[in-house]
């Protein structure tokens, strides 16, 4: 009921936190340690970044920012914080070349790039060593300088270290963004996905609407103590919804670096530009379609068949796909 009143990501973060704050939001399971982050600390980190990015030494608000990184906790915090600030966000697919990144930076006037050490060389090549960052705003030329925020590096003088940035926000007190927030404007703030296949642009309102549509079709999200495995990357709108928005809305625990997901949990098994497939209780589901008609369908037959697939959705529509020579025949039956 609450979710249907939410139209932008700031409202989602603020409202759903109230019901999820004691639940585990993210588990990072590495060889030498396990870290659990609950929704209370998750939201604190999100707003720490919000406060840091609006600090006078950084001042990144109502801007265009980019993210190029593998899927990780810092990615989630970065995306949600910039969405709250009303920044248009560019998400670079891992298949983007440095040349594509360079052209996109110039065309869309990106002024901040968040990246991981894994993509450092690609970012440096795209910028061709022409861009510097200084924390002192007097030394920053807004026409030619780009903020480089590295999730990992501690010793590069040309980058802002992520943890140092977060610490700026953690120690800022008596700050509120509400007085500077226009919820109607936030609805129209865009996320752009850039890949070799082209670009896809979605607004915050479209993302929230799609999230609600999938939630309504998939009733499992109201169950307690559910986990979802983390994908390697967040490169598509489907991955963004399934890895970031749906879990936050319904208190799901995103599990990193471990394949030990039980059949009671949600396991993403395949992601592509035009769809995402996951399993739950030995049943397989597909998320696909545009923002206006994004749909969740259940794949009835778990066996991999080369020429016969049956998909059944909530409205009891059965689609049968048959291959005949070089042509595909699609028969659509409605009703029970």
Query: What's the confidence (pLDDT) of residue 135?
Result: 37
Classify each residue of 260-272 as buried b or exposed e, where b means 16 or more C-beta atoms within 10 Å of its C-beta. Answer: eeeeebbbbeebe
- Whether 136 maps to a domain, the answer reads yes
The total number of structural domains that make up the chain: 2
DSSP type of residue 231: P
Domain boundary among 176, 195, 214: 195
Query: What's the confidence (pLDDT) of residue 325?
Result: 38
State the burial class of residue 250 (Cβ atoms within 10 Å of its Cβ: 0-12, 13-18, 19+): buried
Residues 189 and 314 in one domain: no
Classify each residue of 69-95 as buried b or exposed e, where b means 16 or more C-beta atoms within 10 Å of its C-beta. Answer: bbbbbbbbbbbbbbbbbbbbbbbbbee
Residues 186 and 310 in one domain: no
User: Do 108 and 89 touch, CB atoms closer than 8 A?
Assistant: no
Residues 29 and 145 in one domain: yes
CATH number of the domain encompassing residue 93: 3.40.50.12780
φ, ψ for residue 24, nearest 5 deg: -80, 125
pTM for this model (two decimals)? 0.82
Domain boundary among 148, 171, 195: 195
Residues 181 and 316 in one domain: no
- Whether 142 maps to a domain, the answer reads yes
- Whether 275 maps to a domain, the answer reads no
Of the candidates 323, 324, 321, the one whose C-alpha atom is nearest the C-alpha of residue 332 is: 321
> Domain of 317?
302-336
- Whether 129 maps to a domain, the answer reads yes
Domain boundary among 166, 195, 224: 195
Residues 35 and 165 in one domain: yes
Query: What's the confidence (pLDDT) of residue 44?
Result: 94
**Hey, is 328 helix, strand or coil?**
strand
Please write the tens of the pLDDT for every residue from 130-168: 544 433 444 444 445 788 999 997 667 677 889 989 998
Query: What's the confidence (pLDDT) of residue 284?
Result: 87
Residues 130 and 15 in one domain: yes
- Whether 168 maps to a domain, the answer reads yes
Residues 55 and 182 in one domain: yes
- Whether 236 maps to a domain, the answer reads no
Residues of the chain with confidence (pLDDT) below 50: 1-4, 129, 131-143, 302-336
- Whether 91 maps to a domain, the answer reads yes
- Whether 164 maps to a domain, the answer reads yes
């Amino acid at each position: 009921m609450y979710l249907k009143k939410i139209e932008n990501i700031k409202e989602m973060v603020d409202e759903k936190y109230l019901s999820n704050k004691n639940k585990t939001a993210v588990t990072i399971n590495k060889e030498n340690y396990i870290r659990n982050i609950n929704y209370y600390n998750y939201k604190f980190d999100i707003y720490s970044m919000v406060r840091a990015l609006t600090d006078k030494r950084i001042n990144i608000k109502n801007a265009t920012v980019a993210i190029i990184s593998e899927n990780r906790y810092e990615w989630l915090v970065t995306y949600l914080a910039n969405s709250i600030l009303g920044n248009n966000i560019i998400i670079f697919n891992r298949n983007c070349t440095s040349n594509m990144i360079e052209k996109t930076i110039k065309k869309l006037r990106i002024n901040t790039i968040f990246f991981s050490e894994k993509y450092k060389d690609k970012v440096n090549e795209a910028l061709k060593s022409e861009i510097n960052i200084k924390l002192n705003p007097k030394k920053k030329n807004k026409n030619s300088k780009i903020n480089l925020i590295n999730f990992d590096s501690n010793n590069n003088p040309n980058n802002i270290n992520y943890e140092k940035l977060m610490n700026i926000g953690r120690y800022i007190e008596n700050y509120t963004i509400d007085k500077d927030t226009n919820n109607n404007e936030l609805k129209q703030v865009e996320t752009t996905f850039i890949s070799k296949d082209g670009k896809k642009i979605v607004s915050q309102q479209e993302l929230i609407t799609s999230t609600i549509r999938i939630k309504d079709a998939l009733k499992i999200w109201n169950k307690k103590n559910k986990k979802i495995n983390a994908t390697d990357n967040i490169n598509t709108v489907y991955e963004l919804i399934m890895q970031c928005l749906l879990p936050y809305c319904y208190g799901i625990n995103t599990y990193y670096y471990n394949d030990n997901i039980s059949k009671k949990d949600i396991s993403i098994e395949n992601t592509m530009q035009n769809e995402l497939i996951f399993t739950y209780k030995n049943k397989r589901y597909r998320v696909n379609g545009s923002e206006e008609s994004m749909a969740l369908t259940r794949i009835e037959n778990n066996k991999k068949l080369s020429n016969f697939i049956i998909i059944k959705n909530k409205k009891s529509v059965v689609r049968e796909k048959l291959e005949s020579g070089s042509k595909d025949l699609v028969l659509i039956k409605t009703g029970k």
